Amino acid sequence: MDFKTDPSAVTINLLLIVHPEEAVSKQKGQKERPTDSDRSTGLEDDGNGNSRSQPPQGRDLNGCQVSKEPFKQTQALTSYSNEGTQMTVEIHPKDTTPQLFKKLSFGKGPRRLPRLRGQDNKGFQRTEAPRPPGKKDLHAYPWDKSSLKSMPVDLQQFEKLDAYALKVNVKNSVEELVKALLKQTRTDLEKVRAIWMWICHHIEYDVVGYHNKSQLSSKPIDVLQMGKSICEGYAGLFEHMCSIAGIQCMKLSGHSKGNGYKMGQTFTGDSDHTWNAVYLDGRWHLLDSTWGSGAVDDSFTKFTFRYNEFYFLTHPALFINNHFPDNSNWQLLKPALTLKDFENNMLHNSNFYTLGLLTAHPETAVIQTVNGKASVSVDCRSATLFTFKLKGTDEHGLMTLKKHGMKLDLYPQKTGSHKLQIFAKPSKASDVYNCVLEYVVECKSVDKAMRFPKDLHQPVGPSWFTERQGFLRPSHSDPIIHTNDGRCSVTFTLGKDISVLASLHCDSSSLTEDMGRRHIMQIHRGNQIELKIHLPHAGNFVLKIYARKKSDPGNYDYIFNYLITCLNTEVKWPAFPQSYSKWVEDYEILEPLSGLLPANRNVQFKLKMHGIAKVLVQAENAYPLTQSRGYWEGTCNTSGCREVFVMVHENANHSFYSHVLKYEVESQ
């Protein structure tokens, strides 16, 4: 029988034997472990989990030494090269009578060979010889921001299967384990899922074996019975279980950005990690059960089970972030990345994508500052909270939240290399921040003007988060407020039932907590609030804003802050007058705004207050104010006194006054 080929084909004469079904089944049942004959023919793994035959001893046609001993039994050798040519040859004793002779012609391109189908002697479906990845397996690079998976997967439909797989407890036989797992499966996808879930929750990473590989076995039965292994064992067990289940599976090797990876490092020498590819719905898909099972600590001495769904059928354009296969075809990408691309590209770990983050800029792991500044931005699907650490602190940057991401401007205050970590969590406050990005910031010059107060809290400025807390339509949407004369004001529309507290902070010890509050005046007009700020001197200040529900008598909760800057060294504003508990929220001071009054002067007062019977200004003498068109007005002389009080008579029938404001008088 002839197979038609192209002109570049190489014709090979092969003797193929078709066995009776029973004989084939017996051979298949014997292939779990290599026999002495397997070893004598020199079976060797090519690094991608494929067997590669080595020449037997004695002399071949090229004069090389080959074995003269006849083979003791029939053997099936599968050769699979990186170029994709695949052939299966069965070798028999010389006296075997052939039942069928075929003349085959193989082209140089990838070709899927016919293979007998049927059941082996244990009732499992035999898998076809794995084919190399082709055009229909490829996904576009970069990621199209669609799905985290390489095929449609409804995790809710897996809930019962996952729960069942976790409870299966078989350790004596890989075949028996697969048989038990497959009882609740119908499709190939469900078979792969059951195997995946079992391995990820029952095999732990062998940190001791990692450091002493001479005592380590990666044979599937040993991994199963020990319950631990390294990546080679995880991938080998997964491949073996899939083969028993009738699923085509490959074991792949390559470089990884895993534990111990240093940003910007280059990869040389042998591979350092192993994972798998499975064939489902006519296409290859990638997964990593080692990383799906959990993580080891930084010292590589302790493993913790921490299931990670991300590494199950991961989209290849995301898998390439930290997995670079030895054979670039197994990237399953078009175009494929070079090793240099892999080394230079930003590392996005699984947290980055499971939190709904989409892209980060810049896309390189090392960032160079320009005039002392470097910037990073992240885009995401939904509202997400962020924070960061630059060399262990968040003092040298300004992070602002956007509705669909964040922006971070960095101003390192020392030259050299700085490790930058960016953390994120969902908008639910109960969740923990997870590291999603790491960079190296190379700083050649320092911008001393951008040295921020220690009290500045990240993120800075208003955002979707502050809107949720009831601070709507801010007058200043930027995180920094610049003022030349040392005065500024910020306004918001407040949600219902909100009480506000604000304070001013700087690194100068002269500004106490109490005085920090007195440099801010609150003015309420309906549901509008204005925060009027007078700075005590030039410099950088933090305006912190707290809130609580009026119906809740508890403490105020921190909401957000602004950075206020003033370069004018002549600025020296006194604090606003001190207010007491009887000063109602919607009262307003029109004059005098300064809490420090000049000595021996007549000072004009104008206050907006309602529901008051009488108002009195008490200095050396008492000066009543008169009401006109909703305002209380009058004059007070500051001679002979150090303090001036504003007092109110709330009810005409009461005989006592309540203090509402206190002013100080300059020294004479």
| Catalytic residue selected from 200, 231, 249, 443 | 231
| Catalytic residue selected from 139, 202, 255, 273 | 273
Bridge partner residues of 368 (DSSP): 442
Written as one string, the DSSP assignment of 74-105 is -EEEEEE-TT--EEEEEE--TTPPPS--EEEE
Residue 446 makes CB contacts below 8 A (sequence gap 6+) with 372, 411, 412, 413, 414, 415
| Catalytic residue selected from 120, 137, 206, 288 | 288
The DSSP 8-state label assigned to residue 414 in this structure reads S
Active site residue 443: no
Bridge partner residues of 544 (DSSP): 503, 561
Reduce the DSSP state of residue 148 to 3 states and report it.
Answer: coil
Tokens of 15: 């003797």
Active site residue 273: yes
Alpha helices (H) in 146-187, listed in sequence order: 159-167, 174-181
Residue with tokens 């005592």: 215
- H helix and E strand count, the chain: 14, 43
Q: Which helix (H) or strand (E) holds 558?
A: strand 557-566
Q: Which of 322, 331, 130, 82 is nearest to 239 (CA)?
A: 130
CA distance 231 to 295: 12
Answer yes or no: are the C-beta atoms of 347 and 263 closer than 8 Å.
Answer: yes
Tokens of 629: 């068109």
CA distance 501 to 554: 13
Q: Which of 265, 243, 245, 247 is nearest to 256 (CA)?
A: 265
Bridge partner residues of 204 (DSSP): 228
Reduce the DSSP state of residue 127 to 3 states and report it.
Answer: coil
Active site residue 288: yes
Which residues are annotated as catalytic?
A: 231, 273, 288
